[in-house]
Structures are given as structure tokens and as C-alpha cells.
Amino acid sequence: MIKNIFKILFKVILVILILVGSWVVLTPIFRYDESNEGNQFRNLPNDILDIIVLGSSHAQYSINPAVIYTESGYYSYVLGSGCQPMSMSYHFLQEALKTQSPEVVLLDVFTIMPSRSVCYADGMYYNAIQQMTGKNRIEAGLATENDEKKYEYTFDLLMNHSKWKQDNFLQKEESDEYNKKLGYVNQQPQEYVFNHLVPLEKGDTQINFRENDLQALDDIINLCTKENIQLILYKSAVDIDQENYDYLQAIWDLADQKGIEHVDFLALAEEIGFTLGMDGDTWHNNTWGAQKTSKYLANYIKEHNYVTNHQNNDVYEKIVNDLCEDTAKWLFENNVDIYQLLDYATKYDLTMIVKYNGSNVTSIGDYENQLLQSTGIDFDFINNRNQNYYAIISNREVIQSSNEPFVTSINGTNVEISPVKITVGNNTYEDLGELEIIFCGNDFSWFNEMPIDYATRFFWKNGCDGWNCGV
């Protein structure tokens, strides 16, 4: 009798083990279209990141690791996902700490605000869960608020088992080993207009935070405290109504009560020169806005000395330098703010082709002279204002300069500079300004021409003024 019981028990256990084993083996196979973003993060060498950014698409669009690097030398990564709930931000942090030891965490607070409702859907949980592994993935799945979806997302073979019927089943798409943008998502300006954010005053909105959000925020705070990580809450600059503004102020009040630092880019918009149109749409920062947001945060972290154990790494350096090249192109494209462009030229690697007609009459003052020279130009536009100047500058170093026109070749590309024409390979520029600067990639894959008639218009081309010049 007892022997038969043991046999039955053994068979039951064997069946259970077979079922569990089959489930474990088949589950990843049926995730044939699974996001690879989590693996790209985990493929990075261990313990190299100084800063990790958590949050929704607001974080993905507002923080550019190339700008963080350019401004501070720090290594950062954006672990974002669409409409990332605060509970998922906590699990992203847990996932990150498996392989990285950041000293700073930047946390986007968008999904604590009422405006999260415009994108709230169950799929945002699964999008985040797909980037996690092991026990953390299971716990993240069980944190899904919709009870009907909770177990499907946690044990996702339940919802993926029928995918074998699809034509592309098992045809996994190849992806890069690393995320080339380090989690950043770029978009270019769509409107070249200045729409200044209108300051609001705190209203009388009844504040009712969701308990799940408050608990997740506390979990993040506690985990950062345990791991000796400096947590900084932030909100990127967006168009905002009174209700969401009041909630944001309540979030800052809550942060103050808990002793957590926070940065409000709506309040800082005027200080950093952020405007809707030029720097973002009503929802997301564009590349120009991300430059301003990331620059501010990089310098904030640097000034507070929150990163104390930075270590250089060749793998990250290669990725971030490639991203810096792309960022330079994005920042210069269709940009006609000469002061901004010259400032970028002091930080990003690129080539400048310069032609200057000597003149007694000029609006180039000490500030402009110093700014021009900080890009690598070896000419004094004040003391030598009467002299002509022709030059090619690459990465802030003079390749060739002269008081006379010249023709040369750079990496197989012919460059000719004369008083009336500049030719770079197959590109010819005529109708030049009195001071002509052509910004371009070191491989001459992109160009931004800036003709400046400094004598008759303050540092701008005749007949227009700044953004009125058009693009």
C-alpha cells in the first residue's frame, strides 16, 4: 500500500518537474519578439556607470548621456521605458544593481502626476518587464496592477503560446551588442519658434497620490540609501496645466519631507533658456532641449561632487564618443544661433572652415573674440581686424591657416577657401558673409553654413537678425 503511494507520489512529482522544465525551456523560445534593450544594458562591462536615469519617455528624451559625458566626463545610461510606472522604476533599479554600482540615480517623476493617464495601459508593464531577468522579472510581473494581466505578464508563455502559428516564429531579429544611444531617444526640432513656458502659481487642487506610487517611491529611496546612492528627482520641461503643476509642487514638498533632492526644469526654463518649439514639443524634449537639461544636471552633479569613483572604460568610451559625433550633428543641424554653435564647437569634435575679410568696422568684441579663439582659431579679431584670415580647424586644433586664400586636401577631400567662394569636395558655398564659418563633421558628412556680416549687423548676416534669417 505504502509502496503504491510512493509510486504515485513519485509520478506526480515527475510530471510536475517535466511541466515546470518545459515551461522554463519554452518560455524564452516563445518570446521571439522580446525587447533586447535589457540585454544591451547587461552587456556593458560591470561597474562602469556613474549615473543611471530611470523613468518614462520623458526621461528617454530629456537626458543625453553624450552631453553628460561632454560636460563632466561621467558615464550615464537611461534605463527608460514608455510610461514607466514608479513600481517598474524600482525594479529597473534592482536590475541595474545586478551589474552596475552607480553613485547617482536620476528619477523622472512624470508617472506620479495625473497626466500619466494619457498613456496608462497595461502594456507599459510588459514593456518594462521584458528588460528584466530572474527573480526580479517575476516580482516585476506580479507588481502589475491589473490582476487579469498580472499572471500573463509574469508567466508570459500563457499569452505567447500561440505565436508558433506566425510566419516569423523563431526568426529573432539581430540587434547590436550595445545600445548605441545609451538609452537616449533623440528627436529634432519640428518648429523653429520660441514659445516660452508661462510660470504658474500653486493652486488649490486636491492632492491624492496613489498608494502604489508612494510605496514604490519609498522602495527606491530605501534601496538608494542602502546602496549609498545619491537620488535626485527631476521633471523635464513640458507644457503643463494647473492640476499637474499642483501635483508637481506636492511631489517636491514630499521630497523635501523625505530629504530627497529635486530639480524642476519648469522652474528653471528661463534660466537655461528652454522654450517649447525650439527645445521640445508640449510633451518631450528634442535634441536641443536635452542638451540644456543634460548640461544642467551634469554640472549640478559635478558641483555637488556626487561622483567620487569614476573609472575610465574603453568599451563605454567607444560608445559615447560615437554618440557625441551624432549629437554634434543633431545640435548643429538647422541651428543659426552663432553663439550657441561656437559654444558647442568648444566641446564636440568637428571641423570648422573659416574665412574672414579684414575690416576696421566690426562688432566683434572681446567676448566674441574669446569665443572664436576658444574653438581653436589662432587669430585675434580685434588687434588684427584689418587682416584677412583663412583657416581649417579640426577638433579645436588648426590644420592650416593663412592670411591668403589656399587649397588643400583633408583625408582625400579637397578644400578651397577664397574671398568669394569656399569649396569642400562637391559642396560649393558662395555669397559669403564678411565672416564665414562652415561647421561640418570631420568626415564631411554634414554641413552648417554661417555667413556673418559683423560690420553692419551685430554678428549676423545682412538683412536678417538671428532666427529671423530662416533655416
CA distance 394 to 410: 10
CA distance 179 to 315: 12
CA distance 443 to 429: 18
Non-local (6+) Cβ contacts of 148 within 8 A are none
Chain-centroid distance of CA 40 in Å reads 16
Express each pLDDT in 294-320 by its tens digit.
Answer: 999 999 999 999 999 999 999 999 999
Lowest mean pLDDT among 2-11, 150-159, 171-180, 273-282: 150-159
pLDDT of residue 217 exceeding 80: yes
pLDDT of residue 125 exceeding 90: no
Beta strand 51-55 with 104-108 is parallel
Non-local (6+) Cβ contacts of 427 within 8 A are 444, 447
| Helical spans, DSSP H, in 227-313 | 242-258, 269-272, 287-303
Chain-centroid distance of CA 203 in Å reads 32
pLDDT of residue 107 exceeding 90: yes
Chain-centroid distance of CA 248 in Å reads 22
> Which residue, 391, 383, 340, is CA-closest to 364?
383
CA distance 107 to 120: 18
Express each pLDDT in 380-428 by its tens digit.
Answer: 999 999 999 999 999 999 999 999 999 999 989 999 999 999 999 999 9
pLDDT of residue 443 exceeding 70: yes
Lowest mean pLDDT among 8-17, 25-34, 270-279: 25-34
Residue 52: band (very low, low, confident or very high) from pLDDT cuts 50, 70, 90: very high
pLDDT of residue 34 exceeding 70: no
| Cβ proximity of 120 and 110 under 8 Å | no
Query: What pLDDT, on a 0 to 100 scale, did the predictor assign at position 167?
Result: 52
Query: What pLDDT, on a 0 to 100 scale, did the predictor assign at position 380?
Result: 96
Express each pLDDT in 330-342 by its tens digit.
Answer: 999 999 888 899 9
Taking all residues of the chain, what is their mean pLDDT, rounded to a whole number? 87
pLDDT of residue 459 exceeding 80: no
Q: Residue 367 burial (CB < 10 Å; 0-12/13-18/19+)?
A: exposed
Q: What percentage of the chain carries pLDDT values higher than 90?
A: 64
For the chain, helix, strand, coil in percent to 5 are 40, 15, 40
pLDDT of residue 161 exceeding 90: no
Lowest mean pLDDT among 197-206, 377-386, 461-470: 461-470
The residue with greater pLDDT, 191 or 370, is 370
Query: What pLDDT, on a 0 to 100 scale, did the predictor assign at position 471?
Result: 42
Query: What pLDDT, on a 0 to 100 scale, did the predictor assign at position 139?
Result: 86
pLDDT of residue 356 exceeding 80: yes
Query: What pLDDT, on a 0 to 100 scale, did the predictor assign at position 199?
Result: 80
Mean pLDDT of 343-362: 93
Residue 175: band (very low, low, confident or very high) from pLDDT cuts 50, 70, 90: low
C-alpha cell at 358: 579684414
Residue 196: band (very low, low, confident or very high) from pLDDT cuts 50, 70, 90: confident
| Cβ proximity of 115 and 246 under 8 Å | no
The residue with greater pLDDT, 248 or 9, is 248
CB neighbours of residue 156 within 10 Å: 20
The residue with greater pLDDT, 331 or 120, is 331
CA distance 65 to 290: 10
Express each pLDDT in 82-102 by its tens digit.
Answer: 889 999 999 999 999 999 999
Mean pLDDT of 440-450: 95
Express each pLDDT in 226-253 by its tens digit.
Answer: 999 999 999 999 999 999 999 999 999 9
Query: What pLDDT, on a 0 to 100 scale, did the predictor assign at position 176?
Result: 72
pLDDT of residue 377 exceeding 80: yes
Residue 1: band (very low, low, confident or very high) from pLDDT cuts 50, 70, 90: low
Query: What pLDDT, on a 0 to 100 scale, did the predictor assign at position 147?
Result: 64
The residue with greater pLDDT, 394 or 5, is 394
CA distance 147 to 189: 40
Mean pLDDT of 160-186: 70
51-80 residues labelled b (16+ CB within 10 A) or e (exposed): bbbbbbbbbbbbbbbbbbbbbbebbbbbbb
> Which residue, 138, 88, 78, is CA-closest to 112?
88
Query: What pLDDT, on a 0 to 100 scale, did the predictor assign at position 31?
Result: 53
CA distance 160 to 278: 43
Out of 104-118, 194-208, 416-430, give the one with best mean pLDDT.
416-430
Lowest mean pLDDT among 28-42, 146-160, 197-211: 146-160
Q: Residue 453 burial (CB < 10 Å; 0-12/13-18/19+)?
A: buried
Query: What pLDDT, on a 0 to 100 scale, did the predictor assign at position 129?
Result: 82
